[in-house]
Amino acid sequence: MARRHHIAVGDWASVARRLEELISARSAEDPVAVAVELVLLRLQQEAAGAGPPLPLAEQLQQANDRWPALMARPLLARLDPSLVQSCLDVLSPLRLRQAQGSALDAIFEGLTARRRRGEKGQFLTPRTVCTALVKLLDPQPGERVLDPACGLGGMLLATAAHRGKDAGPLLGADIDPAALRVARLGAVVAEIAGLDLEHRDSLAPGALEPHLNGPVDVILTNPPFAGEVVDAALCAAYPVTGGGRAERDALFLERCVGLLRPGGRLGIVLPHGRLVNDRDGPLRDWLLRQVQVLAVVGLPDETFQPHTSLRTALVVGRKRPLPLDPTEPLPDEAIAFCLSEKAGRDRGGRPIPRAGADPQAPAWLALDHDLNEVVDFIFDDLASVWRAHG
């Protein structure tokens, strides 16, 4: 039965729920795809300023002209105009550009998580985590940066924020076309050009290579966790991780190392178990021979709440110019181990604002998390390795 929601300004999650409720009750379209188009119309209205909005058909035409890749055959043109209007009314409190991504995250985190219910590890990566990983990897203008499981594009958008909006190739791929639409929308809202996204199964051998045109300089990713891959032909392409229980994050790790140039930098979110389980010893040994691991940052259990409490860690390293000989002992190299203790959200996934945070600031910038301190603590050591090896 339909419920009524009070929509407070800034309460983006309730906006998402109300939107989904309206769309699901009165259309058979995917709420994520419809919401992308609605947000574009809202963005257009925001730019037009006060005054009565144009008729819907004209708004759609204008949006089509401005963003042909996202509005070529608008779903909204097929929906009941009164439904579209109700949805636009729900979105009217949004100030998308002012919110610097907070509104988009809350709307699409809810919508995509519900759509992918039951799939493991498919959740939006909090902006705090993307930003910390980007700062640690420090992508430079002109470097080719890839996220092969880019989802809603968090890592790539954070890279653009870090090094400048037009500062080089941002390459992404995802198996879910709806996620890619949201990533493209994020780039429109943040006014970032040059996002080069492909709809691909990144694990399929050869699927990304033509798109990448050679090994990349930096990979930043939060791959899907768990969920075993049973396709024997695919597993055969992964000599290290494809045998036995071929879990997707492990396959992605092997894939990422393969896609990096020698000397390239890797920042990846992995399940904590991968770093400590006895049965993953051979995988760790392989990784340490391929990549000089420089830092491991344990993330708080609340990081991916309200979706999962799975413990995770950031792993940061540099691909070795040549892999180390598997018959030789591993070198004695320093790895910075850090533990983040504050995720900026509670066990229910509710945001915890920092004391004294500016109430007008975008929500994700006002969270009580400690990743900035972690970055400050280890970045100088990382940067000296990045600089030494170019």
Residue 227 φ/ψ region, left for φ over 0, alpha for ψ in the -120 to 50 degree band, beta for the rest: left
Residue nearest to ligand SAM (CB): 151
Q: Compute CA distances 375 → 98, 284, 326, 383, whole Å.
A: 26, 24, 32, 11
- Taking a C-beta distance cutoff of 8 angstroms, is the pair 254, 323 a contact? no
CA–CA dist 23, 17 (Å, integer): 10
Q: Which is nearer to ligand SAM, 201 or 368 (CB)?
A: 201
Count other C-beta atoms under 10 Å from residue 325's C-beta: 8
Helices 102-115 and 177-189: crossing angle in degrees, nearest 10, is 170
Q: Which is nearer to ligand SAM, 110 or 223 (CB)?
A: 223
Count other C-beta atoms under 10 Å from residue 8's C-beta: 10
Least separation, in Å, of the C-beta of 115 and ligand SAM?
A: 10
Q: Which is nearer to ligand SAM, 37 or 174 (CB)?
A: 174
Count other C-beta atoms under 10 Å from residue 298's C-beta: 18
In sequence order, which residues have a C-beta less than 8 Å from that of residue 50 and are 6 or more positions away?
Answer: none
- Taking a C-beta distance cutoff of 8 angstroms, is the pair 94, 100 a contact? no
DSSP letters of 358-382?
A: -TTS-GGGGB-B-HHHHHHHHHHHH
Q: Which is nearer to ligand SAM, 29 or 201 (CB)?
A: 201
Least separation, in Å, of the C-beta of 137 and ligand SAM?
A: 14
Q: Which residues bind ligand SAM (CB under 6 A)?
A: 121-125, 149, 151-152, 154-155, 173-176, 179, 201-203, 222-224
Least separation, in Å, of the C-beta of 252 and ligand SAM?
A: 8
Q: Which is nearer to ligand SAM, 137 or 173 (CB)?
A: 173
Q: Which is nearer to ligand SAM, 123 or 364 (CB)?
A: 123
Q: Which is nearer to ligand SAM, 74 or 298 (CB)?
A: 298
Least separation, in Å, of the C-beta of 207 and ligand SAM?
A: 8
Q: Which tokens in the block code for residue 198?
A: 């492909």
Count other C-beta atoms under 10 Å from residue 79's C-beta: 19
Least separation, in Å, of the C-beta of 268 and ligand SAM?
A: 11
CA–CA dist 115, 218 (Å, integer): 30
